[in-house]
């Protein structure tokens, strides 16, 4: 199995990964961070939902234009057929309809193709096989917290049996909770039509740059699928335990809401012209803050705001392509990562800086914003685990200080409008942190800002100094830092995060976000031609469907790491907007 052969579907309630063999190999129900119903991605016996040719031929996948509806077309000696996979999402009765349902439509295109259909769910991490109860046109799987039912107009006798001839369009709906009670074909066709219409309308309302349009649109659609609409949480990735590289043991569970990642996703959605996700996230953040009186925010939370994230290694799971271990939960939830306070200020700042959002302003949101800024001011320059979540001794991290400075700086501007009596305090704090970074994080021997105060190692995250406006774009220190990172952390045209031992060894793969950060920094500092050339090269690493994982092995260009990775698609969107010309320069 290859990540390049997987397609993502979802509806902001659930998501699934569909391989081009026609197998659903990953799906957690009833939400992103639940146990998997289909987990073959991480173990051959983890369960799957397959609609495939009798001969096992792989298909060719594409998304129906500007939607999250996935089409897989199969060519066989007996004929051609296609499978349409999606989860319904559209407006109904003045609210968003996003049922916990997976819809699959299989249709003959020519000849008399023979197909096999198997639905083999598992009872989560136990991998136990649920009891199957047959109805007249459905199969109910027993043992789940809610009813799990496959409803279909395919004869039940054909399910899991030898192949049968596909002579007409057939429909399958896997539902968690309420069963399907309407006539199935009409229901599925209506859901398909309405879901396509929803996604195309959503894309039509996106701002996009004149270059890299398809890549930005697909990345926008991917980011939307990482938003858990019920609470406003935004998850880092769809999966757990896809290793950063083969045999590395770096397998982490990313199916949770990292506050930092959420900030970056919201920034990308702002560029796209979508703002409702930030409004939902603000409510999620207010709920978290209410449960943390001292505002000792964790780096990550469950999608319901829960903190039960103890990291466990699962026995009996082989891991992706045999690369274990498989982990559930994430020990980074216990880390100190001070940059999150600045990032949360930046996430909330548009509410108070942009007058289009006056209705979102509230005393509670302003109070939280001020508390976050003061927390950032208090922790700046103190040791933490860094943005990269080092599992070794902690030091004062320059990136963390940078984000704390950004939080204090933006809060000073907000206070000038809404709390002028406090504006001076925030401006003084921002200036203090800024001076400390200049004094303690600049290494004259490297001619660069470095990862830690008084340290020596480079850190690709410091490319963010450019878009955050820490220094003027023509400042010699900023340009020197960009050049040092570009030269020293490059591998085959892609950037590593760092070259130091992080407690688990030295990383050997490129972290995709860093290359997109480089593009953005090049553009901000006026190196537009280099930014655009680098952006053009990034197209080569996209999967056939335009999806990105967290990491890539630069020699083989093989995707590794959890998939799809919100961070990577955020980076692509920011980089594309930065590197592309404006529409006024084209039209």
CA gap 320, 145 in Å, rounded? 27
Is 128 exposed, middle or buried (CB count within 10 Å of its CB: 0-12, 13-18, 19+)? exposed
Query: DSSP per residue over 4-38, as a string?
Result: GGEEEEE-SS-EEEEETTSEEEEEESSSTTS-EEE
Smallest Cα–Cα separation from 211: which of 534, 541, 570, 549?
534
Confidence category of residue 556, pLDDT binned at 50, 70, 90 = confident
- Cα first-last separation, the chain: 44
**What residue ranges in 424-495 does DSSP mark as E strands?**
442-443, 448-449, 490-491, 494-495
CA gap 580, 485 in Å, rounded? 23
Q: Locate 411 and state its tokens.
A: 């809060």
CA gap 363, 286 in Å, rounded? 12
The Cα angle at residue 234 between residues 230 and 237, in degrees rounded to 5: 120
Q: How many C-beta atoms surround the C-beta of residue 218 within 10 A?
A: 24
Tokens 């959605």 belong to: 269
- Asked whether residue 508 carries a pLDDT value surpassing 90, the answer given is no
CA gap 557, 550 in Å, rounded? 12
Confidence category of residue 115, pLDDT binned at 50, 70, 90 = very high
- List the domains of the chain with CATH numbers: 3-203 (2.70.98), 205-585 (1.50.10.10)
For residue 559, list its beta bridge partners. 552
> The whole model's pTM is what?
0.95
- Per-residue pLDDT tens digits for 306-320: 999 999 999 999 999
CA gap 200, 336 in Å, rounded? 41
Task: Report the range of poorest mean pLDDT among 358-362, 390-394, 458-462.
Answer: 390-394
Q: Locate 457 and state its tokens.
A: 């190692």
Task: Report the range of poorest mean pLDDT among 154-158, 203-207, 437-441, 553-557.
Answer: 553-557
Question: Would you give the DSSP letter of residue 500?
Answer: S
Average pLDDT of 185-209? Answer: 97
> For residues 332-360, b (16+ Cβ closer than 10 Å) or e, as one string?
bbebbbbbbbbbbbbbbbbbbeeeeeeeb
Q: Is 233 helix (H, G, I), strand (E, B) or coil?
A: strand
- Per-residue pLDDT tens digits for 39-85: 999 999 999 999 999 999 999 999 999 999 999 999 999 999 999 99
């Amino acid at each position: 199995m290859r990540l390049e052969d997987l397609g993502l579907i979802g509806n902001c309630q659930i998501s699934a990964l569909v391989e081009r063999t026609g197998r659903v190999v990953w799906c957690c129900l009833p939400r992103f961070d639940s146990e998997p119903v289909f987990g073959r991605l991480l173990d051959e016996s983890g369960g799957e939902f397959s609609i495939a040719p009798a001969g096992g031929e792989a298909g060719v996948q594409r998304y129906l234009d500007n939607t999250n509806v996935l089409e897989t077309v199969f060519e066989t000696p007996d004929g051609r057929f296609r499978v349409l996979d999606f989860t319904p999402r559209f407006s109904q009765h003045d609210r968003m309809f996003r049922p916990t349902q997976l819809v699959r439509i299989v249709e003959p295109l020519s000849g008399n193709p023979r197909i096999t259909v198997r639905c083999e769910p598992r009872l989560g991490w136990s991998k136990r096989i649920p009891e199957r109860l047959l109805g007249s046109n459905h199969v109910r799987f027993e043992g789940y917290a809610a009813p799990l039912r496959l409803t279909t107009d395919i004869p039940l006798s054909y399910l899991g049996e030898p192949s049968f001839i596909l002579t007409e369009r057939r429909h399958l709906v896997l539902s968690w909770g309420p069963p399907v009670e309407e006539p199935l074909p009409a229901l599925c066709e209506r859901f398909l039509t309405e879901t396509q219409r929803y996604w195309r309308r959503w894309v039509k309302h996106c701002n996009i740059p004149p270059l890299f349009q398809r890549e930005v649109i697909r990345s926008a659609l991917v980011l939307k699928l990482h938003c858990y609409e019920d609470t406003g949480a935004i998850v880092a990735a769809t999966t757990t335990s896809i290793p950063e590289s083969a045999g590395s043991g770096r397998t982490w569970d990313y199916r949770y809401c990292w506050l930092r990642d959420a900030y970056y996703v919201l920034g990308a959605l702002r560029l796209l012209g979508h703002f409702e996700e930030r409004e939902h996230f603000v409510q999620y953040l207010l709920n978290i803050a209410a449960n943390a009186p001292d505002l000792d925010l964790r780096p990550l939370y469950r999608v319901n705001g829960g903190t039960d994230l103890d990291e466990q290694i699962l026995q009996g799971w082989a891991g992706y392509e045999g690369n274990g271990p498989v982990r559930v939960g994430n020990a980074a939830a216990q880390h100190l990562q001070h940059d999150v306070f600045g990032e949360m200020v930046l996430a909330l700042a548009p509410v108070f800086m942009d007058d289009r959002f006056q209705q979102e302003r509230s005393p509670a949101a302003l109070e939280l914003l001020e508390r976050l800024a003061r927390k950032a001011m208090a922790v700046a320059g103190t040791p933490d685990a860094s943005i990269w979540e080092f599992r070794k001794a902690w030091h004062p991290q320059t990136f963390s200080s940078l984000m704390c400075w950004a939080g204090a700086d933006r809060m000073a501007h907000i206070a000038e409008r809404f709390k002028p009596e406090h504006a001076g305090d925030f401006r003084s704090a921002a200036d203090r942190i800024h001076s400390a970074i200049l004094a303690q994080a600049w290494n004259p021997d490297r001619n660069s800002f470095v990862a830690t105060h008084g340290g020596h190692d480079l850190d690709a995250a410091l490319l963010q100094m450019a878009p955050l406006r820490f220094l003027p774009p023509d400042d010699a220190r900023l340009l020197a830092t960009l050049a040092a990172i570009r030269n020293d952390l490059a591998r085959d045209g892609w950037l590593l995060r760092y070259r130091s031992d992080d407690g688990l060894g030295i990383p050997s793969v490129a972290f995709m976000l860093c290359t997109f950060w480089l593009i953005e920094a090049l553009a901000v500092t006026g190196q537009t031609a280099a930014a655009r050339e680098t952006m053009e090269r990034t197209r080569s690493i996209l999967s056939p469907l335009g999806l990105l994982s967290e990491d890539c092995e630069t020699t083989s260009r093989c995707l590794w790491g959890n998939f799809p990775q919100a961070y990577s698609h955020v980076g692509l969107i920011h980089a594309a907007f930065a590197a592309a010309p404006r529409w006024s320069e084209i039209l």
